[in-house]
Chains A and B, each alone.
Chain A
Amino acid sequence: MSREVWVFIEHNNEKVLDVSKELLSEGRRLADTLKSELCGIILGDDNKKFYKEVFGFKTDKIYSIEHKELKDFRALPYTTNIVNASKKFNPYIILFGATLTGRELAPRVASKLRCGLTADCTELKIGDYTQPGPQPKVYKDLLLQIRPAFGGNIIATIVNPEMHPQMATVRPGVMKMNEIVKFEGKVINVEPVIEEKDLVLTIVEKIKQEKKVNLTGASIIVAGGMGVGSKENFKLIEELAKVLGGEVGASRAAVDAGWIHKDHQVGQTGVTVRPKLYIACGISGSVQHLAGMIESKQIVAINKDPEADIMKVAHYKIVGDLTKVIPMMIKAYKEKV
Chain B
Amino acid sequence: MYKIVVLVKQVPDTHNITANAMKEDGTVNRAALPTIFNPEDLNALEAALEIKDKFGAEVTAITMGPPAAADVLRECLYRGADKVILLTDRAFAGADTLATSYVISEAIKKLGKVDIVFAGRQAIDGDTAQVGPQTAEKLDIPQIGYMLELKSLKKDVIEVKRAIENGVEVVKCKLPVLITVTEQTNTPRFPSAKKVAVYKKAMTKSEINKIDPNQSYIDPSKYSEEYLRNKGLLIEEWGLNDLKLDPSMCGFAGSPTKVYKIDSVVLEAKETKNYEPTFEGVSTLIHELIQQHIIG
Contact = CB atoms under 8 A, between A and B. Distances in A.
A105 B143 CA distance: 10
B173 interface: yes
A211 B269 CA distance: 35
Interface string B247-275: 00000000111111111110111111111
A150 B98 contact: no
B126 to A, nearest CB: 7
A117 B257 contact: yes
A157 B260 contact: yes
Contact of B167 (A99, A208, A321): A208
B164 A100 contact: yes
B213 interface: no
A159 B267 contact: no
B272 A311 contact: yes
B153 interface: no
Interface string A267-289: 01100000011000000000100
Contact of A312 (B128, B267, B285, B286): B267
Contacts of B18: 153-154
A218 interface: no
B285 A318 contact: yes
B159 interface: yes
Interface residues of B, number: 84
A208 B166 contact: yes
A156 B264 CA distance: 9
A111 B265 contact: no
Interface string A206-237: 11111100000000100000000000000000
Contact of A155 (B262, B272, B279): B262
Contacts of B258: 129, 131, 158-161
A152 B168 CA distance: 29
B171 interface: yes
A185 to B, nearest CB: 26
A306 B97 CA distance: 41
A196 to B, nearest CB: 11
B256 A329 contact: no
A201 B263 CA distance: 43
A201 B159 CA distance: 10
A132 B157 CA distance: 50
B125 A150 contact: yes
A324 interface: yes
Contacts of A203: 169-171
Nearest to A128: B260
A154 to B, nearest CB: 5
B52 interface: no
A289 to B, nearest CB: 12
A318 B282 contact: yes
B187 to A, nearest CB: 13
Contacts of B273: 315-317
Interface of A: 10, 12, 17, 73, 75-76, 79, 99-101, 103-108, 110-112, 114-120, 129, 131, 144, 148-163, 200-211, 220, 244, 268-269, 276-277, 287, 290, 297-298, 300, 309, 311-321, 324-325, 328-329, 331-333, 335-337
Given A103-B130, A329-B282, 5 more contacts: A107-B131, A129-B258, A153-B18, A154-B265, A209-B166
29 contacts: A17-B165, A100-B164, A101-B165, A104-B133, A104-B146, A105-B133, A107-B97, A119-B128, A120-B128, A153-B17, A156-B259, A160-B258, A161-B258, A202-B172, A203-B171, A211-B166, A298-B289, A309-B267, A312-B267, A312-B272, A313-B268, A315-B271, A315-B273, A317-B272, A317-B274, A319-B274, A324-B277, A332-B283, A336-B286
